[in-house]
Structure 1
């Protein structure tokens, strides 16, 4: 997880803070503020989620965003994220496995906010870890699918994310599968295969109207 955190820090450092991300209504600055709030101010994070404001209009998140409007403020927010999660935050008690996929997805939120980019080349051990940690997200993301869903890595493993008599196979590298399962449908480089009518039902449900959740492990 800390390797991915360090890589994400460098991407935040190079990015335009006002650039769009894959999270509707959020700039790079908003996304960085979200990660800091999640790791250091969980009660404020919960209050924003409960209030259900329009993306970009969150009360407590907005305060962090405003504090990061200047270059110095943005740098300070980034250093807070780089330093790691607060040891007093219950979110961190679940261990690294609970957060690695979130960092990977948010990393792509930043990278792909302005359109397609070349995929990152990740170490094989990290790719295997993403696949291993993806199951809970897949079950959550596809729980309302009108058809069954099987995730598959081309030439590699597969798993059932949702059981149903008719099913599609969503195939791609683990990072792409994570993006698709979390609602980043247009940004995910995957193939959906199956019977024509089953694929059509799935695509009607999973199309670009399925918004990316602001917190992928919610």
Structure 2
């Protein structure tokens, strides 16, 4: 079993136990919206791409709303969850990239559900091999997340590996578990347990830059409309 499928199974359990109307870290989206998003991206990728390109405010999406409405009843939500739990067939091109396209998606959205609302859950303890798999895919993703940073950015795991994701003369070092670093890179900054270290002025430039970036929304600790990528 791939790590994406391990994470999918854990996410299914979380979706099953969660209140479908509860808030998530994806601003404007409930648990029901997030589940609908995952099903749409896997089984209707063209429609999902149109949604991402349109960048409509939460609740005004072109296609997502109809999926959400069909899942308003307990039976409808259960059916939507069952579709996500069933995964993708080998004939579905969306499945072909495997962990490379889906592991971070599931991990980040899993934390969107767990850490949303008024009583966020504590960080999970994941299998070491899964943590290593997350780290292996983190640097390319973080390069996108920090591509506009006015200073260099280095990711560091305490007592573990480091990765330069943006080069510059002055740099900050972001230290945390790979899951926390993934959340930080995706714009869920106040939900992520990450330490920002560096020269005071360099740290200030880094924090000030992202505090004023509407696509990152660091002050709210939220991502835009449920897509884990820093921009939609």
Pick the TM interval, shorter chain: over 0.9
Contact persistence 1:40–1:86 (CA under 8 A): no
1: CA distance between counterparts of 2:211 and 2:89? 37
TM-score, normalised by the number of residues in structure 2:
0.90
Alignment of 1:83-162 (within 5 A): 83-114=86-117, 115-162=119-166
2: CA distance between counterparts of 1:95 and 1:2? 9
Q: Residues 87 and 40 (structure 1 numbering): CA distance in 2 closer, same or farther, change over 3 Å? A: farther
Matched, 1:22 2:25: yes
In structure 2, runs of 5+ residues without a counterpart are 218-222
Alignment of 1:10-89 (within 5 A): 10-89=13-92
Tell me the alpha carbon deviations over residues 8-51 of structure 1, each in whole angstroms, 9 at most, x when there is no partner: 00000000000010111110000000000000011111222222
Structure-2 residue corresponding to 1:197: 201
**166, 180, 204: which one aligns with 2:170:** 166
TM-score, normalised by the number of residues in structure 1:
0.95
Structure-1 residue corresponding to 2:228: 216
What is the deviation of 1:90? 2.8
SS at match of 1:169: strand
SS at match of 1:168: strand
Tell me the alpha carbon deviations over residues 60-96 of structure 1, each in whole angstroms, 9 at most, x when there is no partner: 1000000000000000000000000244443222122
How many residue pairs match? The answer is 218
**3-12 or 54-63, which deviates more:** 54-63
In structure 1, runs of 5+ residues without a counterpart are none
